[in-house]
Structure 1
């Protein structure tokens, strides 16, 4: 079912590779990144104020952490960012990661752990892995040997985690608990519903449904817990990367987009490409758990 939503362009930063939309419930604003321009952005919907901070490399994501900091994933590892002083500090590298890889997407879980993925920056080799950052340490956890990882995404209760293999057009799911993660199994093959698109960043809503951006697909799609397509929203951009559910009631969707793969001749067909989009969601999200740094 396609939802006929009124889509708004709330910010026009001209992303090259906009990603990582995330609602910060404490600060009541949206964080997002432009990976290829090394920028960490924020947008305050109450005032319209926005600004970007230049990261010391390609930045894939930012998550609220304890102590008023953000934990960020860059090409060469994890960094903290202090919004009060606009300062990045390197925390650690990801052990064993190839020099040609970078960090791409991540989420936190109810126990304050961070689940993250790496990928080949050239998008050629299946060198990407999934990891967990837990109590100040990083270890491999989840599927491996993936060219472009996206997600993970964790359910509100923390009982399920979703891993996206973008090039294979598949989303996997595994059981999750305080003690660890189970073996990943198939959840959905998005090519069945969107044959020309690639699943990008996923999130989970309060009804345990999974939303995914669709790169080359001009939509976000919503899948039921048993992997059935139940809704989609068409957007005026082609390359849809990630969605967040925010606002005071967690029912405002914020969506990042990209222009990296858009040819000049195609640009007029997608007038909102490279912008931060928004629409009213029929279902709410939930607050992102704060990352425990140590």
Structure 2
């Protein structure tokens, strides 16, 4: 039975970015990385020490995912970049969708096999020109494959703990889809996992029991679904635009949540003083340690 959660998220880091997104917890550093898309900025925050670092990206970074060599793979409007926080340098790895200048990359995740799944979207959020891609690293470089299309704003994606299910949101359609991931890395058996009746599904992530956590843009809440799509609980958030969640901390039972100020009227922002900041709360079921993009030997 669906219930309103007793969890009360608190503001962890009052950073007030315009559009916070893409949180990832890096255990080796005990640090949370995230991006502010319109500001083309990458952030790193250490909760224990409250140390905060920032880097200016060459374009709007929508996601950053850790690589086995200590760098990050970043999605930007003109393709995939590598970012090294040790020296702050960026390098352009691959062009994606060169024939769609109105599109940009939006969100991504790493699956248990070390592959990255990411999506694109119409930058004006009007046309269904977005797609879902998978990227592997080979001795010859990045191998990018196209798997689905017709998304206006692709979001998520997220992978089940066993790597057999890929979840993807089409935010304007208020729908979360599920696909079966085949042994060869293809997608099959597309089905609707959940539909929202208020707000738009944004970032999603799975926990260690296969539960799916969905942040709701324009909905002031986070939804927690069972693996079968049953809505288990609703967590109220003190701001309208909730963008994505990452599990971390020593036991992976701390949820870190990015939010946004973009699109919130000034009058409403006065009621949401911490919009655009990082929130956190504790959960009973731990998350999954952040997977890393696997480089070929």
TM-score (norm: length of structure 2): 0.94
Match of 2:172 in 1: 167
Aligned 8 A contact 2:8 2:235 in 1: no
Aligned 8 A contact 1:218 1:239 in 2: yes
Structure-2 separation of matches of 1:267 and 1:49: 26
Structure-2 separation of matches of 1:208 and 1:177: 18
Structure-1 separation of matches of 2:275 and 2:6: 19
* Superposition deviation, residue 41 in structure 1: 0.7
Match of 1:260 in 2: 262
Structure-1 separation of matches of 2:24 and 2:295: 19
Match of 2:146 in 1: 140
SS at match of 1:37: coil
Spell out the pairing of 1:187-226 with structure 2 (5 A cutoff).
187-191=193-197, 195=198, 197-226=199-228
Q: Which runs of 5+ in 2 are unaligned?
A: none
Structure-1 separation of matches of 2:99 and 2:160: 27
Answer yes or no: is 1:246 the counterpart of 2:248: yes
Count of matched residue pairs: 289
Answer yes or no: is 1:182 the counterpart of 2:187: yes
SS at match of 2:38: helix
* Superposition deviation, residue 226 in structure 1: 1.1
Match of 2:154 in 1: 149
* Superposition deviation, residue 198 in structure 1: 0.4
Structure-2 separation of matches of 1:83 and 1:144: 33
* Superposition deviation, residue 208 in structure 1: 0.4
Structure-2 separation of matches of 1:281 and 1:52: 28
* Superposition deviation, residue 100 in structure 1: 1.2
Match of 1:26 in 2: 28
SS at match of 2:268: helix
Deviations along 1:142-179, one digit per CA (max 9) or x if unpaired, are x3111100011011211111010100000010112441
TM-score (norm: length of structure 1): 0.95
Structure-2 separation of matches of 1:64 and 1:171: 25
Structure-2 separation of matches of 1:53 and 1:6: 31
Aligned 8 A contact 1:198 1:216 in 2: yes
Greater shift after overlay, 114-123 or 25-34? 25-34
Match of 2:272 in 1: 270
Spell out the pairing of 1:108-119 with structure 2 (5 A cutoff).
108-119=110-121
Structure-2 separation of matches of 1:158 and 1:220: 23
Q: Which runs of 5+ in 1 are unaligned?
A: none
Structure-1 separation of matches of 2:182 and 2:68: 21
* Superposition deviation, residue 282 in structure 1: 2.3
* Superposition deviation, residue 81 in structure 1: 0.6
